[in-house]
Amino acid sequence: MTTLPPVRGKLIKDASLAPYTWFRVGGPADWLFLPEDETDLAGFLKTLDPAIPVTVLGVGSNVIVRDGGIAGVVVRLMGKYWGSVEASEDGFLTARPGALDVSVAKAAARAGITGLEFLSGIPGSLGGATRTNAGCYGQELRDVLVGLEGYLRDGTHVAYRGPGRPGNLPEASFSYRYTDLPDDLIVTKLTLEGSGSGDPEKILAEIELLQNRRADTQPIKEKTSGSTFANPDPPGTPDQRSAWKLIDAAGCRGLKVGGAQVSPKHCNFLINTGDATAADLEALGELVRAQVLATQGVNLRWEVRRIGRIKPPLPPINA
């Protein structure tokens, strides 16, 4: 029996992960670790058996946890400590990866910092947004990232400066929905910079407009995630620059597999209509990709992460 290092946070065996994802699907984690703080996380990683895999799960807004669950330890960075955001008078924000993107935008607004309003249109938490260089409304995280810190799988502390930022630290490279950060890096702190100062009430009003726009165009009240597929990069013809347009042109709006459906409201979103499995959602996504490739000649790239073990089918029942 594997013995895990002692922690100050919580360690839960065979923890169901479905409640921690927006899709509300997926099998259990062998172990779920909820670290108390950065020191708790670092100590755990340093003493954990190197053979045990570690997977990070934030708010679960852009992930499909497969039905077989996740081997090893799943680290979830949520709660008061991991969701903290602090603004300084010189236009900088320091935030933990569990901070919701909209909370970061509103914290900046309350401090009179402009230029971070776009974060309110990105579902999920700042840690996830960092991994995918998330963006909307013409801006991406790389545009406002000053630097970040975190720990590798072995507990080594590392730090990076944002793209184009001065300093002696290694520079993190970002491109469209991609970053070259190490796969085993667990981000624990980020520093962001706004573009100027403004009236907090006006900035908050702009955020509210963006939130209303998102509610009008996306199925945010459904069991869903962020955008399923990245827009083609580099972009093609005008009709091939948006994943949703390609999906719509391929006749996939409203398409179903089991309990999973392509959203009739915005067809770059998959939804769990109530009884979907992770296998349903992944199969539907692959069907969409196949139909777009066959009819539009574009190979869509998943933006939603798919992690964990595929649950083996049940053996046939002998009559």
Catalytic center residues: 177, 227, 303
HEC readout, the chain: CCCCCCCCCEEEEEEECHHHCCCCCCCEEEEEEECCCHHHHHHHHHHCCCCCCEEEECCCCCEEECCCCEEEEEEECCCCCCCCEEECCCCEEEECCCCEHHHHHHHHHHCCEECCHHHHHCCCEHHHHHHHCCEECCEEHHHCEEEEEEECCCCCEEEEECCCCCCCCCECCEECCEECCCCCCEEEEEEEECCEECCHHHHHHHHHHHHHHHHHHCCCCCECCCCCEECCCCCCCHHHCCHHHHHHHCCCCCCEECCEEECCCCCCCEEECCCCCHHHHHHHHHHHHHHHHHHHCCCCEECCEEECCCCCCCCCCCC
What phi, psi does 3 have (nearest 5°)? -105, 125
